[in-house]
Amino acid sequence: MSPEKSIFSKIIDREIPATFIHEDEKCIVINDINPKARVHLLIIPKKPIATLFDLTPDDKDVMGHMMLLLPQIAQSQGLDGFKTQINTGESGGQEVFHIHIHLLGQ
């Protein structure tokens, strides 16, 4: 039996609607449904990786891609500065166990 798909995998597969800001072969960028700032986006890899603890050397490309995408997305939203956050594990505040980067800006 395969593990249950995360809400992010369901969004990637278009099973749940979301507002897509960006999509490419490696990741998606969507609006956070519970924003903590004027701009609050989630950068999510298409590959389902549960936490930072689950990264392998094979994931360097997708993680590097997402990091390089952050300033481009921020600028496209009119931001000249921003904050990023990755929650890891339940005690680290992670609610959806599919790695994602929060991009927050005023």
The pLDDT tens digits of the residues spanning 14-70 come to 999 999 999 999 999 999 999 999 999 999 999 999 999 999 999 999 999 999 999
Tokens of 56: 């392998």
Tokens of 34: 């519970």
Q: pTM here? A: 0.93
The catalytic site residues sit at 100
C-alpha 55/C-alpha 59 separation (Å) is: 6
Domain 7-105 -> CATH class:
alpha beta
Domain map of the chain by residue range? Answer: 7-105
